[in-house]
Amino acid sequence: MFRVVLTISTLFVASIAFASVSTDAKTGSADSTAQNAPVVSTSPDTAASKVSGLTPLDGAQTDSTLSFIAVGDIMMGLNYPDDQPLLPPEEGVLIFKDVKPILQNAIITVGNLEGVLLDFGGLPKSCSNPKFCYTFRTPERYVKNLVDAGFDLLGVANNHSGDFGDTGRETTQKVLKEAGIGYAGFENSCESFILERGGVKYGFAAFSVNRGTLRVTDFEKARQVVSALSAEADIVIVNMHIGAEGQKFNHITRQTENFIGENRGNPYLFARTVIDAGADLVFGHGPHVPRAMDLYKGRFIAYSLGNFATSTSVNITGVSGYAPMVKVVTDREGNFIEGEIISAIQRGQDGARRPLLDSTNACVKEIKRLTEKDIPEAPIIIHNDGKITLKGGGK
Ligand SMILES: [Zn+2]
């Protein structure tokens, strides 16, 4: 794929053209053969019809609606330490195999790339406590798995994107750019991104608590970045890597969360801050477990989507293995119309840990329970089958 990036201050405006025919269901192979065509032209109904019948929400796709799929943390395997790599079988091609049709069943698919894409080198971070030290360096060629799965936008603002210093950050950006995947989250280098598709401009920004990334604790900067995106784009998507980690921290307290001596932000307040500044969809992750969902000013919030595809080194027992995908349908202004949680759980199969579709709907039950407990006034209902609708039918 070929990408032209125009830099306007720190705002990236990208027009994507296809140098080759893509088999991605989102792009529509028939109309993506032109060399250097200015933008991807994909109508919402085309994107949905390629994989029709997979989710009941397909019927909601019309020219007046937009669709999104979001997932949490992605870490596809480790090539570090050099003498002890922890890589999945078959170059990771199995990782997204089971969930790929779901991931491709929306116009925009977004996730959080935990760690760096880098083959060798980089300065590994030093840890004061080796017991809690994890450094995530994934082979560059594994980006192919992300492309094949259908990811359009990936946040790189998280606590592992600085694990290999500037070399890691720079190479990750280069690899994603060459692969045609949009990305955002590093301070001063890729603070935001705009992807144009089907005549709609989708703005994207990503925030975390970590040095080198846009911070969830810096509200002024967050407002600035999001309102600039909002002025430029039709829809603004925000990734937030925020909150304390682990199974004990699955609730929205509406307070600032502290974890291992760090301020890990206030997810409830941060989501509202960016929505007030113009964000239309807010997708959270970082706690490694699913959390509640919410709606504010008609805009959808997932506070944490947990671990999605962490092929090694991350605890996936119990709810830590829950790998929900959330599909959201909005109008062209970003107002929530309806959604759906699709349940997957990370398990080992074929020698690989990966998200597998879960017919017991465990993710749905968990997110429904947490939402009803933590945000009882949220104007959404999560149904047992995973559908998300507006309370009172939106009246
Ligand atoms: Zn993280």
161: CA distance to ligand 1 center in Å?
Answer: 9
93: CA distance to ligand 1 center in Å?
Answer: 23
* Higher pLDDT, residue 39 or 154: 154
Tracing tokens 């170059």 back to the chain, one arrives at: 91
177: CA distance to ligand 1 center in Å?
Answer: 22
Helix (H/G/I), strand (E/B), else coil: 175: helix
**Comparing 70-84, 123-137, 253-267, 299-313, which segment has the lowest mean pLDDT?**
123-137
pLDDT at 27 over 50: no
Task: Tell me the pLDDT tens digit for each residue of 200-236.
Answer: 999 999 999 999 999 999 999 999 999 999 999 999 9
Task: Label residue 298 by pLDDT band (50, 70, 90).
Answer: very high
250: CA distance to ligand 1 center in Å?
Answer: 14
100: CA distance to ligand 1 center in Å?
Answer: 23
Q: How many degrees, rounded to 5, is the angle at CA 245 between CA 103 and CA 258?
A: 135
Looking at residue 223, its pLDDT comes to 98
* Token representation of residue 89: 């079988």
For residue 193, give Cα distances in angstroms to 44, 199, 349.
Answer: 20, 16, 36
338: CA distance to ligand 1 center in Å?
Answer: 28
For residue 381, give Cα distances in angstroms to 344, 363, 364, 375.
Answer: 20, 15, 12, 11
pLDDT at 55 over 60: no
Helix (H/G/I), strand (E/B), else coil: 168: helix
116: CA distance to ligand 1 center in Å?
Answer: 12
162: CA distance to ligand 1 center in Å?
Answer: 11
38: CA distance to ligand 1 center in Å?
Answer: 35
Helix (H/G/I), strand (E/B), else coil: 312: coil
Task: Label residue 394 by pLDDT band (50, 70, 90).
Answer: low
CB 371 within 8 A of CB 292: yes
Task: Label residue 30 by pLDDT band (50, 70, 90).
Answer: very low
Task: Label residue 63 by pLDDT band (50, 70, 90).
Answer: confident
Q: CB neighbours (10 Å) of residue 199?
A: 12
Average pLDDT over residues 38-48: 34
Task: Label residue 26 by pLDDT band (50, 70, 90).
Answer: low
For residue 292, give Cα distances in angstroms to 242, 260, 319, 341.
Answer: 13, 23, 13, 12
pLDDT at 237 over 70: yes
Give CA–CA dist 109/230, Å, rounded: 19
pLDDT at 1 over 70: no
Q: Which helix (H) or strand (E) holds 8?
A: strand 2-8
Task: Label residue 300 by pLDDT band (50, 70, 90).
Answer: very high
pLDDT at 17 over 70: no
58: CA distance to ligand 1 center in Å?
Answer: 32
Task: Tell me the pLDDT tens digit for each residue of 96-108.
Answer: 999 999 999 999 9
Helix (H/G/I), strand (E/B), else coil: 267: helix
223: CA distance to ligand 1 center in Å?
Answer: 23
Provide φ and ψ at 46, rounded to 5°. Answer: -65, -45
Task: Label residue 352 by pLDDT band (50, 70, 90).
Answer: confident
pLDDT at 45 over 80: no
Q: Residue 220: left (phi > 0), alpha (psi -120 to 50), or beta?
A: alpha
Q: How many degrees, rounded to 5, is the angle at CA 213 between CA 324 and CA 272?
A: 60
Task: Tell me the pLDDT tens digit for each residue of 151-194.
Answer: 999 999 999 999 999 999 999 999 999 999 999 999 999 999 99
Looking at residue 81, its pLDDT comes to 86
| pLDDT averaged over every residue in the chain | 86
73: CA distance to ligand 1 center in Å?
Answer: 7
286: CA distance to ligand 1 center in Å?
Answer: 4
**Comparing 29-38, 199-208, 382-391, which segment has the lowest mean pLDDT?**
29-38
Helix (H/G/I), strand (E/B), else coil: 21: coil
Question: What structural domains does the chain harbor?
Answer: 2-394 (3.60.21.10)
244: CA distance to ligand 1 center in Å?
Answer: 10
385: CA distance to ligand 1 center in Å?
Answer: 29
β-pairing verdict for 235-241 and 281-285: parallel
For residue 118, give Cα distances in angstroms to 147, 274, 292.
Answer: 17, 31, 34
114: CA distance to ligand 1 center in Å?
Answer: 6
Give CA–CA dist 252/304, Å, rounded: 10
178: CA distance to ligand 1 center in Å?
Answer: 24
Looking at residue 130, its pLDDT comes to 66
